Amino acid sequence: MSRRLQDIRTADLCTDRAVREFLRVQGGRLECVVAADGTVFAVSGGLSRRVGRALLGLVHGSLGAARLVEVTPLDFAQWKEANRPRLGAIPAASRNPANRTVEFVFGRAVEERASDVYLDVRLDRAMLAFRTYGFRRPFDQLSRDDGLALARSIWALGTNAQFDESGVCDVAFDFEHGGRQYRIRGNSMKEVRGNSVVCRVRDPSFVLPLEDSGYAPVQVRQIARMCRAPGGLILITGETNSGKSTTLASLMSGLPTTQKVIEVADPVEVLMDHVSHIEIEHYGEGTAQRLNQNLAALVRQNPDTLVLGEIRDGPSATAAKDMAIQGKRVLTTLHSQSCAAAIPRLVNLGVPMPLLGARAFLAGIVNQNLVPVVCGSCGLASHPDAAVDARYRTLFGESVRFLNRAGCGDCRGGVAGQTLVAEVYPLCLDRTGRANELIGAGRVAELERHMRRNGAGGNGCMSKHQHAATKAAVGQIDPEHTERIIGEFNGEDVEGRCGDLVELGR
Ligand SMILES: [Zn+2]
């Protein structure tokens, strides 16, 4: 007869000294409870294999029986909440159980370093998932009704927000966990079987220093020089989830406090003392008019630097263009797959090509992707497929490492974080004027060749693949996974020159 966690009370727990000592030594971090009959209730994936085996062995030795029952993280949290010692705790009756679920889900998301929380409500169930280091992973399952109740209580935390099951709705609220304040922004859409809810989790006080983002040291210096140019447009480009807004925030934090800096964004994610943050919603009624009014006012505010969250349409492209023509510094992001591809993209959004080629109009372009970092403790030294292994070994040498999806205690599914692979065009350093000519004439392919060969004041710019190759060669990133993100490495990019490339990056 199997017992359920819900039936266990504090009085039913194992009181054996050895077992209690084992749990105490683990610092109460183990997501499990041991009942007096030897049943170990543990959150699926919550115990490492080694600790789980040690605990079951100990329980069996002490109680004469041991059995593992896996429970979901939500069930476990609800059990803990219901059986928490009353002393000092907030009286459970004063707290809404649905809110406790929200707290639990976002608390876990923060601990798992998730950037996004997904709630997919379907006909027969609801699924929760987290995105950590770029990977989306299932977290828990609920009934459809509990899923909808969770969505409603998320929306109840926002001001003036109500969950609309039959349409599109947004919500924003602050969430505190572990002494830090996080900003949650949610969006829900009706899907044919239910609702698709996505919540972004941000720490508004967190700014990653440029040197720690993963650019090569030479790229950090080039970006710094772009930001020191007297004016002009600086474009941070990349695809969705390529760390563009993180880069924008670190550049913004590095701007001199003696300047008037205005940021216009939707949403504003990071707040800084020396910046005036203006939030303009890009969706909803009267958006174009509101945007135009605000952008006209910007000219009167006369900032030294405009930070524009994103160029995504005609009006935002016009705003960036008008400021840059006046000789202001404009920092912004743009969706594009390479530095050179940003040029036709801006032309499509109404910026005239000859203007793009004008001297000092474009100070520089950065293009980047985020790539998972291989865990230093569990990364694999060889690829299971011998032919694939041989190819990467030829390209990158013996230090190459691969993601171990089984993962370990030091990582999340083999991934220990994310790093950037990037290409930087510091156009302000091109004193020959050749780059400007090529941009003005829309000769994008030639621009690429020119920048590679003699872009950065005659030294040539590292391509994104070359930058990635330096990281694959030292085992920091998995080359196979990297190719899925940025496309295949070709022999020319890496050609037995990994050592030189590492050198080139300095
Ligand atoms: Zn690991």
Quickly list DSSP for 410-424: TSBTTEEEEEEEEEE
Q: Which of 214-218, 299-303, 454-458, 466-470 is the least confident region?
A: 454-458
Q: Can you read off the two tokens belonging to residue 404?
A: 């171990």
Cα 367 to ligand 1 centre (Å)? 29
pLDDT for 395 beyond 90: yes
pLDDT in tens, 14-60: 888 888 888 877 766 677 888 989 999 888 777 777 888 888 998 99
**pLDDT in the model for residue 497:** 44
**pLDDT in the model for residue 85:** 54
pLDDT in tens, 137-195: 999 999 999 999 999 999 998 887 889 999 999 998 999 998 999 999 999 999 999 99
pLDDT in tens, 343-358: 999 999 999 999 999 9
Cα 416 to ligand 1 centre (Å)? 7
Q: Kind of pairing, strands 32-34 and 39-43?
A: antiparallel
Average pLDDT on 85-107 reads 64
Structural domain spans, the chain: 8-71, 93-202, 210-504
User: What's the pLDDT band for 2 if we cut at 50, 70, 90?
Assistant: low
Distant-in-sequence contacts of 6-12, Cβ < 8 A, 24+ apart = 6/75, 6/79, 8/33, 8/35, 8/41, 8/79, 8/83, 9/83, 10/83, 10/85, 12/36
Distance CA 495, CA 501 (A): 10
φ/ψ of residue 352, rounded to 5: -60, 140
**pLDDT in the model for residue 84:** 64
DSSP one-letter string for 244-297: HHHHHHHHHHTS-TTS-EEEEESS-----TTEEEEE--SSSTTHHHHHHHHHHH
The CATH class given to the 93-202 domain equals alpha beta
Cα 188 to ligand 1 centre (Å)? 34
**pLDDT in the model for residue 348:** 96
**pLDDT in the model for residue 361:** 95
Cα 407 to ligand 1 centre (Å)? 4
Distances (CA, A) of 126 to 45, 71, 118: 20, 17, 10
**pLDDT in the model for residue 77:** 78
| Whether the bond into 384 is cis, omega within 30 of 0 | no
pLDDT for 420 beyond 90: yes
Instruction: Compute the mean pLDDT over every residue in the chain, rounded to the nearest whole number.
Output: 88
210-504 matches 93-202 in CATH topology: no
**pLDDT in the model for residue 27:** 64
Cα 27 to ligand 1 centre (Å)? 21
User: What is the model's pTM?
Assistant: 0.78
Residues with CB under 5 A from ligand 1 (ion): 375, 377-378, 408, 410-411
Contact by Cβ (8 Å): 155, 186 = yes
pLDDT in tens, 457-499: 667 899 999 999 999 999 999 999 999 999 999 877 775 444 4
Tell the CATH superfamily of the 210-504 domain.
Answer: P-loop containing nucleotide triphosphate hydrolases (3.40.50.300)
Contact by Cβ (8 Å): 267, 185 = yes
pLDDT for 252 beyond 90: yes
Contact by Cβ (8 Å): 259, 305 = yes
User: What's the pLDDT band for 83 if we cut at 50, 70, 90?
Assistant: confident
CA proximity to 173, closest of 187, 189, 154: 154
Cα 128 to ligand 1 centre (Å)? 24
